[in-house]
Amino acid sequence: MYKGELMNGRDQTKETYQVKRLTREDLNVILEVQQVVLDTLENKERLQPLSEEEFKAILRGDGLILGVFVKGNLRAFRALWFPGEDEENLGRDLGLSLNEQMKVVHQEISIVHPDYRGNGLQKRLAALVMRELAENTSEFEYVCCTVHPFNIPSLKDKLAQGMFIVKVKEKYAGHLRYILLKQLSVQVMVDHNTKKIVPLADIGEQSRLLNEGYYGLEWIDQESKQSIVFAKPKASNSKS
């Protein structure tokens, strides 16, 4: 599907990689690579892993996963899930009707082996997996995901795709998460006159703004102070 070069951070050598859609035959290596990454995290709460059953559902057709292979070994992957009527459909959290919930796709876990971090693989896979989705179906309208507020690489990755923070709440047995949203057929503009900058740690103020209709649109780091930029959306324009 796609080829390129990346740097192996362990021995500083350039290597060729291939990207392909994963299948049920890849399940064991998917679980192995996910576990390798989990083992490197100091704060396990910042990443919500997928279970074997969740991966099986995606690989059966309730989603898609693209993987990066180096010398035949899986070294990164990114997953989309089509939640449908599942109770975890984030459309429920956002107040979408049942009909609109059927148009929701979740950006699920994005995993990069520690030896290959720093190559921008999350960003590359994001573009490729969304292109793969667009080329294979037109039934989805809402791209949603959850991100731990202090998982900065994942947060920056989602915001760079044009997603907005639209809610913050406890998910997954009480773990705090941002819910982010991007509507595929609509270009959302924001009113820059309403911009407010809120410290990343001030979840209470962020929640208040979100409840008032603000969107979180940018992560910034000013004088070593991490913050989120919020603004109110203007009237949206259709992309069609």
Indicate if 135 and 233 belong to the same structural domain. Answer: no
Exposure of 203 by Cβ count < 10 A (0-12 exposed, 13-18 middle, 19+ buried)?
middle
CB 7 within 8 A of CB 13: yes
CB-hemisphere CA count at 13 Å for 43?
Answer: 8
Residue type for position 216: G
Mean pLDDT of the chain: 93
> How many helices and strands (H and E) does the chain possess?
7, 13
User: What total number of domains does the chain contain?
Assistant: 2
Q: Is 18 exposed, middle or buried (0-12, 13-18, 19+ CB in 10 A)?
A: middle
CATH number of 110's domain:
3.40.630.30
pLDDT at 46: 74
Q: Do residue 234 and residue 147 come from a single domain?
A: no
Find out whether 198 and 230 touch, Cβ atoms under 8 Å.
Answer: yes
Task: Judge contact between 144 and 161, C-beta under 8 A.
Answer: no
**Tokens standing for residue 151:** 């998982």
- For residue 70, what pLDDT is reported? 96
Identify whether residues 199 and 143 lie together within a single domain: no
Single residue among 169, 184, 199 that ends a domain in this structure: 184
Dmax (CA) of the chain: 52
Which pLDDT does position 136 carry in this prediction? Answer: 82
Residues whose CB falls within 8 Å of the CB of residue 77, separated by 6 or more in sequence, listed in order? 22, 30, 33, 65, 66, 67, 68, 110, 111, 125
Domain co-membership, 209 together with 128:
no
Q: What are the pLDDT digits (tens) for 10-60?
A: 888 999 999 999 999 999 999 999 999 999 988 777 778 899 999 999 999
For residues 36 and 75, state if they share a domain.
Answer: yes
Q: What is the pLDDT of residue 238?
A: 65
Question: Which structure tokens are listed for 177?
Answer: 């998460």
| pTM check: above 0.75 | yes
Looking at the structure, tell me whether residues 19 and 120 fall in a common domain: yes
On whether both 201 and 224 belong to a single domain, the answer is: yes
The per-residue b/e assignment along 41-76, b for 16 or more CB within 10 angstroms, e otherwise, is eeeeebbbebeeebbebbbeeebbbbbbbbeeebbb
Q: What is the pLDDT along the chain (240 residues), one digit of tens a residue?
A: 789 999 998 888 999 999 999 999 999 999 999 999 999 988 777 778 899 999 999 999 999 999 999 999 999 999 999 999 999 999 999 999 999 999 999 999 999 999 999 999 999 999 999 999 999 888 999 999 999 999 998 999 999 999 999 999 998 778 899 999 999 998 899 999 999 999 999 999 999 999 999 999 999 998 789 999 999 998 666 665
Contact present, 233 and 190 (Cβ < 8 Å): yes
147: its two tokens: 């991100």
CA 181 to chain centre: 10
Amino acid 11: pLDDT: 84
What is the per-residue pLDDT for 239? 66
Residues 65 and 152 in one domain: yes
Range(s) of the domain holding residue 170? 2-184
58 and 129 co-located in one domain: yes
Based on the domain organization, do 224 and 157 belong to the same domain? no
